[in-house]
Amino acid sequence: MATNTLINQHLLLACQRYPVRKIFFASTVAGYGYPYQSLPLTEPYFFTGAPHAGEYGYGMAKRHALGYLEILRREYDIDYCYGIFTNLFGPNDRFDIHCGHVIPSLIEKAAASWRREDRCLHVWGRPETSRDFMFSEEAGAAALHAFLHGSGMVNIASGCEYTLAQVVAAINLCYQSRLNIVWDADAPIGVANRSVDVSRLRALGFHPSSNLNDAIAKTVDWHRLNIDRIRK
């Protein structure tokens, strides 16, 4: 939390001293209050309750920045777009099986499983656990579009709720469905289900269109070709 708060402070104070016309700030769905007021998550409920305990520090730091942005708009006439990003994945991700995000962690584990004789891929949680996942390349395009055409809070997401079973099946397809999937139901899962509303993003003229299987296949291919230089 402290590191993210310092980033907010230094960046946004610089924008005050050397005025810019507009700021795009990358926030996170981890900032939404939990338990959720309703699903899919909609921007007006962003501050309803405190973030989930597992994401509290990170989520609160991102919330904190919105206060800075409101002051900059009110006192210095600096507009902003506050992009609330869903779970992202794609090339150049951090493929850390211990602390990384869901899809890059599973891709790294799948690659290691493929090299073992038993080819067992151990997956934390339950098949029905769900998230909104978005390919990083499409998220970048959505962020630029929102910055150019919108102001205030806007969810940057796919608008699709995918189960962990669907994610694992998409990764397994990259290995001819020959990995042996083992579910560890006793492992922590954090938030059981999360979907995200993208009505505001669509109203700005951006319509998410990426296919989960295709996006995961592109990410797995990138991982295979860059195995010696991936971040972990």
pLDDT digits (tens, 9 = 90+) for 117-164: 999 999 988 999 999 999 999 999 999 999 999 999 999 999 999 999
Rounded to whole angstroms, the Cα distance separating 195 from 211 reads 16
Residue 231 has pLDDT above 90, yes or no: no
pLDDT given for residue 185 in this prediction: 80
Q: Give domain limits for the chain.
A: 2-225
Helices 56-76 and 2-17 pack at an angle, to 10 degrees, of 10
pLDDT given for residue 118 in this prediction: 93
Q: How confident is the model at residue 100 (pLDDT cuts 50, 70, 90)?
A: confident
In the CATH scheme, what is the homologous superfamily, with its name and number, of domain 2-225?
Answer: NAD(P)-binding Rossmann-like Domain (3.40.50.720)
E strand intervals along the chain = 22-28, 79-85, 87-89, 120-124, 130-131, 133-135, 152-156, 162-163, 180-184
pLDDT given for residue 81 in this prediction: 98
Share of residues in the chain with pLDDT > 90 (%): 85
Give the DSSP H or E segment for 226: none
Q: How confident is the model at residue 196 (pLDDT cuts 50, 70, 90)?
A: very high
User: What are the structure tokens assigned to 214, written together?
Assistant: 């295709």
DSSP structural state of residue 196? B
Are 155 and 192 within 8 A, CB to CB? no
pLDDT digits (tens, 9 = 90+) for 174-195: 999 999 999 988 887 789 999 9
pLDDT given for residue 103 in this prediction: 97
